[in-house]
Every structure is written in C-alpha cells, then in structure tokens.
C-alpha cells in the first residue's frame, strides 16, 4: 500500500482500512506467538501500513 492510494479516500474509508489493518496485525501477532507465522516481514508491513493510514487520516482531519 502506498500513501498516494490513501490520499483520495474519505475519512470513513480510512477509518475502515485502519480497523482492518489493526485486526490483521492482531492475527499476525497471534500467529507469531503460536509459531504459525512463516513470513515475519508481514508484521513489519502491517505496522507500516497502519502508520501510513494514520498519517492520511491526520491530513484529512486537518483540512
């Protein structure tokens, strides 16, 4: 996911994306704890996506 993709979305769409990514991060963390996660870089990517969404949200809210 790139920041450019998030710039044109509304606040409601960004909030939904954020909820979905946080749920994904939770499930990835659970898989990591139970030794079911084979690709640990997915955790890093999910965290970065959450940060991008939060940045886009703050930009939308400041307008």
User: Which CATH number is 36's domain given?
Assistant: 1.10.287
* Cα–chain center distance at 17: 7
State the pLDDT at residue 63.
78
- The answer, as to whether pTM is greater than 0.85, is yes
Reported confidence tier of residue 31, pLDDT bands at 50, 70, 90: very high
Task: Determine the structural domain holding residue 26 and report its residue range.
Answer: 3-62
Inform me whether the pLDDT recorded for 43 exceeds 90. yes
Burial class (CB in 10 A: 0-12, 13-18, 19+), 14: buried
The model's pLDDT over 49-58, given as tens digits with 9 standing for 90+, comes to 999 999 999 9
Compute the distance between CA of residue 27 and CA of residue 9 in angstroms, rounded to an integer.
25
Mean pLDDT over 58-62 rounds to 92
Q: How many domains does the chain have?
A: 1
């Amino acid at each position: 996911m790139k920041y450019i993709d998030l710039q044109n979305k509304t606040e409601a769409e960004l909030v939904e994306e954020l909820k979905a990514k946080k749920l994904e991060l939770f499930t990835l963390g659970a898989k990591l704890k139970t030794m079911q996660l084979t690709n640990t870089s997915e955790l890093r990517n999910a965290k970065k996506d959450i940060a991008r969404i939060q940045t886009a949200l703050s930009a939308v809210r400041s307008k």
